[in-house]
Structure 1
Amino acid sequence: MAAIPLKFQSGDALAFRNATGATELWGVVERKRGGYLLRSFNGSDQRTWSDDEIDSAYGARRLIHYPCNVQGLPKSIADVLEKTWEYWPEEVRRHAERRAVYVAKVDALIDAYPVRMEAYAAAAEAVYTAHCEEWKAEDTELAIRRAAEDAVLRRRRKPQHSDAQPVSTSPVRKPSPYTIRSWYIPWSQYGRDIRLLIPHCHLRGNRQARYCRRWDDAPDTYKVMAAAVEDCYMRMPRKRRNYAYSKYKELCEDRKLPYVSFRSFRLFIDRNYTERAEFERRYGRRAAYLKYGVFERTTPPERPLEEVEVDHCLIDLIVVHPLTGRPLGRPWLTVILDRATRVILGAHLSFEVPSYASLQRALAHAFWKKDLSGINGLEHDWPCHGIPEWVFCDKGKELRSKSLRLTETMLNFAVVNLPRKTPWLKGAIERLFGTIGVQVFSHEEGAILSRTMDFYDPIARARLTLAEVSQKILKWIVDEYHETVHPTIKCRPIEKWRHLTELYPVRPVPDFDHIIRMTGEAIEQSISNVGVHYKGLLYSDRKVLEELRARRGGLKKKWIIRVDPYDYGEVWILDDHVGRWYVLPCTDQTISRNVSRYQHEVHKLIAKHNLPPGTPITVKHLEKAKALAEETVQVLFENGAATATAAKAARYAANGQPFTPLLNGAITADPQLPPQDTDSSPPSAPDLKTAALADALPPADGTSTPASSPGRPERQNFDDDIERMVEQWANEMK
């Protein structure tokens, strides 16, 4: 295909970019047959470029045309051409457009007059006569608009410090022929660009420093001002500009130096520090990053269960005991959300603080099918389950535990621990928690709302039990959230789930028995001659353990053990030779069956403080401690004085029931409420032991009262929690 010749003028500049990315600048000398004679600006010989070569570079976007000689361009004109037309204020562009009318008229009349000055005068008279009234009306309209804007923003308006200062509105006057000549000559000589007609108002004024500058080490007022800004304004704790200015004046007076005005001091800060740099120095790098950073939106996954998010949330609602009606505090909600479909895969609601126990129950609920047949009031099902590929979560202790790492290896998924304090990286679940708080909890009695704390007591107004709250959340999930068009995916989450699962089937759990064995707490323990010891309990199956101990290295080997954190009645041991799990029952079922890890630690703590120092804890001691704990919890539910104390008892009474029943399987025994006997008086317990147990049970929400901290508390360390309980118990005994 033949190249179409491109039009260039003599004196134009052409920039060619070669294959390496370097740019060569050439000047147009003249038109030759079939091309142009170009002169290199680097001093090499002239050469003729054919139309085909120029067209090829032009089509490949390797050619830039400058309609002037950029090498000999004056600095004032080069500075103007470097900036785009939109950079200049509206008033400046208006003046340039009017000048363009004058120079265009000169271009049309210049051949009709033997002397150019006569053409300039004729153009000035013709254009002024034709456009005078129109331009006056435009100036009046602009002045009225500017006055209205200034009236609104006068008190909080900041001065503009751009190099492109706006031109003040002045009466429309007819320019002289000499003025038009000063416009026309550079405009016609350097490419006829309208930017060449920009008024150079930004170059007006005195550009020299008002006071003498010292270029040696001797101080001057500007060096002192920079030091005052750094020491008194750009550091923590944050101070105001007038305070830094007062310190600057004191330093100048001490050194007998002149000082600038407060306005010049503010201009110095604005011109030498960007708003982000100032914010970062005064508030910290992270605060500046969150305020001024630009975050890219990630591409949503294409397959269901390709990416899921996990997090815990302390719900903004006080719940009460089902029998006594006493306020218990705020439970924790753990949710697993699928990013591709936005469906909720699983959840767990209890007074257990964020730990592997609550995480394990949420995972089990997400991995297996839900059975909602026995729950009344639901209009839809919850057909969401399966094993994910990637799990995105924060750096909580339970989310970095060895147990979860072993679970992801066995079930073939990966856990991604996001950097600390980056909630936007799992923004879908963070937004979900906010939606639940507004749509489920905000209108219920007992809701924790910061705007109502002064005149609304959520503890006194609490009415819902944990089971009722769970029922409300469940109905909202299956009947409202899953059945409402999601603004991100533009359809209903359950509809998206069904569509994508038809295209990409989900991975199932091998069988229901794997729910605990593959998600339970993982430990490594050797096998002694009596069995496996764990937390002071003994687990044994003679036939199984004898076979494992008889193998080579079986006596010294650390075997993988899985423990249900809500039931210490049995554990699972892995035979890695044949790839099979074996059940090891606890030899003392009375103190282990349906006893959670937290309950067992409390039982040991009670037994320890009721025995002389150094006395070993036996099964009988643990049985008595368990009976005392259950009795004391009953007393706390009925006669406790503080809501926080009842919350501690509620955490102790948690039995690990899943959020909804799982199909054809149960993880724990049926929930058992404290016995209610209307004919007999409430069981009694020694006041000292009751108070000691209240101290031994940490708050479920990590605060003295649930209403005192409506925000989200930090996670509690279980081991530190136990040590704190020991100290509290010791102080109580004193």
Structure 2
Amino acid sequence: MMTRYSFKTGECLRLDGIDYRISQVNSDILELTSFGDGSLSLRNVEDLLSQYANGQLMFVQPTKLDKEQVQAEDRAVVDRGLADFPEKIQRLALRKFKFLREICPDGRMSVPRALLSDLLRGVWDKLDPEIRGERPPCVASFYEWRRSWVWADFDVRALIDKWELRGKKPSLLPDKLVELIDEGIEKVYLTPQRESLREVRDWVQHEIEKENRRRAPEDALPRATGRMLRRAISRIDRFAILKTRYGERYAQGATRIYGKGPVCTRPLERVEVDHTPLDILVIDSSTGLLLGRPWITVMIDAYSRMIIGIHISFRKPSVRSVLRCLKHAILPKTYVKERFPNVSGEWAAYGLIDQLVCDNGLEFHAQDLEAACAELGIHVIYCPTRAPQMKGRIERVLKTLNYGLVHLQPGTTFAKYDKRHAYDSERTAVLTLKALEEIIHRWIVDVYSVTFHRGIQATPKQKWEEGVAKFPRRLPPSTDVVNVYLGNSAKRKLNKNGIEVHALQYASPALQELRRRRGDIEVTVRNDPDNLGSIFVFDEEAKQYIEAKCTLPEYADGITAEQHAWIRSKARKEYGVSPLPLALLAAKSALRDDTTRLIQECYPTKKRPKPGKPAIDDREALMQREEARQGQLPLEPEMEPGEASGMPDTSLNDEPDIPLFPVRRGTIPPSAARGFN
């Protein structure tokens, strides 16, 4: 039974780190005297009880008030109880306690010493055989129990046998041997080389041999043993050992206790993002060739643990991966049922984010990401360097994704190479990128979001729905805003051909109106890398973006920047291996040879004379004749706008085509002339 306290005169208590003594009790008002400065204060009993229940007040024994003051967090300790001792010690202490409670419950002896022996036997007969022991205790032992119990304010722990202090007294080592052991630990063990205890023992033993040569045989030092070394090392602080051998960062991680992360009060208040390579090999859908391991970028809501955005790609993490994942997180996932009909649930996680938590990767420090988040009102938070625990939720879900889903699929590479054993990842790989995306979508919607999460004591879907019921999700004015702010930004020249981006031409009536007002200027262009069908051009006068469509909509609509780059690269490679480049070089060489021959035949010995100028009337007649001849030449077959000629369609509003070759003034049809207005 531990010590009991009450609000009475003379009791000592500790309130908010300050020690007091109750000097006077007047009904429900207590007069407290501070041990520090002797000041007096009046406190209400109800207020003190409330502070006691909140852990701000604790009773202390007067003997402990003389010790050196310690910090408040160090004072909040509780001594070990009876249950913390071995079962046999508990049983013996309870045996003593039962004898004392039966004979002298208040500590006062009410029977004479001569009758105590018979009374002890009577109590012994009534006790449980498992507790009472083989025979009743003697009178002397009982009096000793009673004295310890009363002096400890009837605390049952005073009856515990001090068995933990038993044992042979350790023999003291010679001072010189202790000095050599400490020196060996410091020079050999506490080093970045991390040498073993065996090396320490060998070093110490060598020093002992050298020392014994100078000593008499009867004063020789004993051999150093591993037990001596381990006992000496146990006296050193563990953090100091880890810091010296492995570095301060490792020591902090090995000795740190990770508490609960930042508390969130609503969905999308704090979203964590990170990348990881998926532990699986993906094949090409048409050829069946191995394409490698894809990367995935994931965003998770810290409030509900709901995954709100993903992006899967074969390219390593970049700012484009983050922006695409952010776009996926903001916009509603209405495509799921259409693209993946096997997904039975709904992915209802979307909306603007308040805080985006990321690490210090280069892609997260990119200017495009910071500018896009600033325009959307998203605050980017960077965790300290090498501190993944600051965004532990995303680290945990990425591990769950790999271990709980990807490692169960054919073609998995597992987390480490040595975990594969005889499993052939390349031979068993059968999943395409589209199939992998469908599996991940099904896992997120139908498995992860409806699985009980012990961190939030609910499923992520339930927690999300509870949060959005109180705090509705917020969306941008339109998807164009997301496409503009989260797209690629660049400077381009506006000219008569419109604007060229990714070797594609873009034009629109609004863009033509901008050129009519401003002329050929440099403008800011934003485009969605997931859809090259249109771009957005910033009009500095109107302070807004205008849209321009690609002149090849049948090609550009829905195509990504990566797909377009691959198509162009493939076209260049196919052209390079075809006979066309060789024929082009031969034609250019033959044309140069013919030109040189004509010059030599006409003017073999002197320079070509300067041509004369005809009269004004004759000059106009000659021009008319040359233009008539030019019109009779079969230059090129007529093509529809946008065909394989490679020339983009620059016509707007169904106007007639403008000739691509120079035309003299007065020869342009009136309908075509309107195209320049």
Question: What are structure 2's unaligned runs of at least 5 residues?
Answer: 68-76, 213-220, 579-677
State the partner residue of 2:616.
Answer: none
- State the secondary structure of the residue aligned to 1:442: helix
Residue 469 of structure 1: CA displacement?
A: 2.0
Amino acid paired to 2:391 = K
* Distance in 1 of aligned mates of 2:451 and 2:294: 26
CA contact 1:305–1:339 (8 Å) conserved in 2: yes
State the partner residue of 1:562.
Answer: 526
Task: Say if 2:359 is the partner of 1:394.
Answer: yes
- State the secondary structure of the residue aligned to 1:334: strand
Task: Say if 2:116 is the partner of 1:123.
Answer: yes
* Distance in 2 of aligned mates of 1:255 and 1:534: 83
Amino acid paired to 2:81 = W
Residue 363 of structure 1: CA displacement?
A: 2.3
State the partner residue of 1:503.
Answer: 470
- Larger mean CA deviation between 433-442 and 362-371 belongs to 433-442
Q: What aligned pairs does 1:228-627 form with structure 2 within 5 A after superposition?
A: 228-256=184-212, 257-258=221-222, 261-274=225-238, 278-298=241-261, 301-369=264-332, 370-372=334-336, 374-375=338-339, 376-438=341-403, 440-449=405-414, 450=417, 453-482=420-449, 488-489=455-456, 493-494=460-461, 496-522=463-489, 544=514, 561-565=525-529, 572-575=536-539, 578-582=542-546, 596=561, 627=571
CA contact 1:357–1:566 (8 Å) conserved in 2: no
Amino acid paired to 1:581 = Y
Counterpart selection for 1:191 from 141, 153, 167: 153
* Distance in 1 of aligned mates of 2:577 and 2:268: 41
* Distance in 1 of aligned mates of 2:363 and 2:258: 28
Flag the structure with more relative contact order, 1 or 2, with Cα contacts below 8 A and sequence separation at least 6: 1
Residue 393 of structure 1: CA displacement?
A: 2.2
Task: Say if 2:628 is the partner of 1:628.
Answer: no
* Distance in 2 of aligned mates of 1:300 and 1:633: 61
Amino acid paired to 2:375 = M
Residue 330 of structure 1: CA displacement?
A: 1.4
Residue 63 of structure 1: CA displacement?
A: 7.6
Amino acid paired to 1:263 = R
Amino acid paired to 2:19 = T
* Distance in 2 of aligned mates of 1:438 and 1:356: 26
* Distance in 2 of aligned mates of 1:573 and 1:88: 77
Q: What aligned pairs does 1:42-81 form with structure 2 within 5 A after superposition?
A: 64=59, 66=61
Q: What aligned pairs does 1:206-225 form with structure 2 within 5 A after superposition?
A: 210-213=172-175, 220-225=176-181
Residue 187 of structure 1: CA displacement?
A: 4.0
Deviation digits for residues 519-573 of structure 1 (CA, Å, limit 9, x no counterpart): 02345789999999999999996864786699xxx99xxx765354567897645
Residue 405 of structure 1: CA displacement?
A: 0.8
CA contact 2:356–2:381 (8 Å) conserved in 1: yes
* Distance in 2 of aligned mates of 1:591 and 1:43: 86
Deviation digits for residues 194-253 of structure 1 (CA, Å, limit 9, x no counterpart): 33334445556787871454xxxxxx3223222222333333333333432332232333
Amino acid paired to 2:278 = I
* Distance in 2 of aligned mates of 1:501 and 1:26: 52
Deviation digits for residues 1-23 of structure 1 (CA, Å, limit 9, x no counterpart): xxxx9797xxx9632557x8542
CA change 1:544–1:60 in 2 (3 A) is closer
CA contact 1:307–1:390 (8 Å) conserved in 2: yes
* Distance in 1 of aligned mates of 2:439 and 2:308: 17
Residue 508 of structure 1: CA displacement?
A: 1.4
| RMSD of equivalent CA atoms | 5.3
- Larger mean CA deviation between 400-409 and 302-311 belongs to 302-311
* Distance in 1 of aligned mates of 2:137 and 2:230: 39
CA change 1:322–1:104 in 2 (3 A) is closer
Amino acid paired to 2:116 = A
- State the secondary structure of the residue aligned to 1:505: coil
* Distance in 1 of aligned mates of 2:111 and 2:265: 71
* Distance in 2 of aligned mates of 1:6 and 1:436: 56
CA contact 1:105–1:127 (8 Å) conserved in 2: no
Amino acid paired to 2:190 = M
CA contact 1:13–1:69 (8 Å) conserved in 2: no
CA change 1:447–1:65 in 2 (3 A) is closer
CA contact 1:567–1:597 (8 Å) conserved in 2: no
Residue 437 of structure 1: CA displacement?
A: 3.2
TM-score of the superposed pair, with normalisation by structure 2: 0.63
Residue 447 of structure 1: CA displacement?
A: 2.0
Residue 137 of structure 1: CA displacement?
A: 4.9
Residue 497 of structure 1: CA displacement?
A: 4.2
Residue 266 of structure 1: CA displacement?
A: 1.8
CA contact 1:315–1:330 (8 Å) conserved in 2: yes
TM-score of the superposed pair, with normalisation by structure 1: 0.59
State the partner residue of 2:589.
Answer: none
State the partner residue of 1:693.
Answer: none
Amino acid paired to 2:11 = L
CA contact 1:232–1:244 (8 Å) conserved in 2: yes
* Distance in 2 of aligned mates of 1:386 and 1:126: 80
- State the secondary structure of the residue aligned to 1:513: helix
CA contact 1:26–1:41 (8 Å) conserved in 2: no
Residue 492 of structure 1: CA displacement?
A: 5.2
CA change 1:493–1:34 in 2 (3 A) is closer
- State the secondary structure of the residue aligned to 1:309: strand
Deviation digits for residues 157-200 of structure 1 (CA, Å, limit 9, x no counterpart): xxxxxxxxxxxxxx967666555444444544553433333444
CA change 1:405–1:89 in 2 (3 A) is same
CA change 1:173–1:432 in 2 (3 A) is same
Residue 352 of structure 1: CA displacement?
A: 1.9
Amino acid paired to 2:468 = T
CA change 1:339–1:377 in 2 (3 A) is same
State the partner residue of 2:12.
Answer: 15
Residue 293 of structure 1: CA displacement?
A: 2.6
CA change 1:176–1:41 in 2 (3 A) is farther
- State the secondary structure of the residue aligned to 1:272: coil
* Distance in 1 of aligned mates of 2:310 and 2:368: 19
* Distance in 2 of aligned mates of 1:419 and 1:110: 67
* Distance in 1 of aligned mates of 2:51 and 2:539: 67
CA contact 1:523–1:562 (8 Å) conserved in 2: yes
Amino acid paired to 2:432 = T
Deviation digits for residues 331-367 of structure 1 (CA, Å, limit 9, x no counterpart): 2222233333444333222212211222222222222
CA contact 1:15–1:65 (8 Å) conserved in 2: yes
